[in-house]
Amino acid sequence: MHDETSSLRVACVQMRSGLDRAKNVSDARELIAEAAAGGAKFIATPEMTNVVDRKGSRLLATLPEEAQLEEIGAFADAAKKHGVWLLIGSLAVKLAAEKSGPRAANRSYLFAPDGNVAATYDKIHMFDVDLPGGESWKESRIYAPGERAVVAGADVAQIGLTICYDVRFPHLYRALSRSGAEILCVPAAFTRQTGRAHWKTLLTARAIENGAFVVAPAQGGVHEDGRETWGHSMIVGPWGDILAEAEGDEPGVVLADIALQEARQARQRIPNLALEEKFEITIIKQ
């Protein structure tokens, strides 16, 4: 059971993952080690830590299924080596072949300090959008959506797991918070266009409306596959205060000390979780 009155140092690892999975793992492990050396006991990496590749055929041709995915063992070893709770924001994991063809999962892994997998979460909401300027994404062509929300009980905190585009669906964060989540994790690979416009606002809103800490490690910069991501990894307090933020899109680590009692205090001051009422909607047509 965690102590709400004690301080917990948390870290966001910001990356610029490319096509080489082994190199991405090596880069991530160096940054994880840096975060651990800085005193972090809960460390989170971004979405698609192991590979960023928008070309589905190329990705699926080389991606193994979970049992053969070497990244899992590498990050289990990192968690155990540093004695930390380690959230790998997500890994691309090939699923067993379906009738419609091969697809992958966009899957978070939470490792305990002993190296065991404490929880996994598959991204629920697929980023299928057409943006101004011709930028288009159809994530569902490559990835199968998850079907369950996850709150992981760790000895440092109750941790709600989400990934990137999930942040635009506030009912998910409401459900996680009502189920006890004190830290809401949003590992991401936000596009530069949407990140510039909405990243900070969305993260701050999720923190305020749920009285929770938000830990949001991000991909940043121009990737090998041609995509551009926003960076600006952030840690947000339950009152909406920005506790730490990466200045731009370069790889690195940001750290913040949090006290979980602040989440409880925020929920007492503005008890919207407790006072939420059911209602019906009436549509009046003219």
Per-residue pLDDT of the chain (286 residues; tens, 9 = 90+): 567 668 999 999 999 999 999 999 999 999 999 999 999 999 999 999 999 999 999 999 999 999 999 999 999 999 999 999 999 999 999 998 765 678 999 999 999 999 999 999 999 999 887 777 766 668 999 999 999 999 999 999 999 999 999 999 999 999 999 999 999 999 999 999 999 999 999 999 999 999 999 999 999 999 999 999 999 999 999 999 999 999 999 999 999 999 999 999 999 999 999 999 999 999 999 8
Active-site entry in 12, 41, 94, 123: 123
* Topology (CATH) of 7-275: Nitrilase/N-carbamoyl-D-aminoacid amidohydrolase (3.60.110)
Backbone angles phi, psi at 278, to 5 degrees: -80, 150
Domain map (residue ranges) of the chain: 7-275
Concerning whether 280 is annotated as a catalytic residue, the answer is no
Helix/strand/coil (H, E, C) string of the chain?
Answer: CCCCCCEEEEEEEEECCCCCHHHHHHHHHHHHHHHHHCCCCEEECCCCCCCCCCCHHHHHHHCCEHHHCHHHHHHHHHHHHHCCEEEEEEEEEECCCECCECCEEEEEEEECCCCCEEEEEECCCCCEEECHHHCEEEHHHCECCCCCCEEEECCCCEEEECCHHHHHCHHHHHHHHHCCCCEEECCECCEHHHHHHHHHHHHHHHHHHHCCEEEECEEEEECCCCCEEECCCEEECCCCCEEEECCCCCCEEEEEEEECHHHHHHHHHCCHHHHCCCCCCCCCCC
Active-site entry in 12, 41, 47, 94: 47
Angle at 210 between CA 271 and CA 41, to 5 degrees: 120
- Burial tier of 261 (Cβ tally within 10 Å: 0-12, 13-18, 19+): middle
Active-site entry in 94, 164, 185, 262: 164
Strands across the sheet containing 104-111: 117-122, 104-111, 85-94, 42-44, 7-14, 252-259
pLDDT for 133 equals 75
Concerning whether 164 is annotated as a catalytic residue, the answer is yes
Concerning whether 123 is annotated as a catalytic residue, the answer is yes
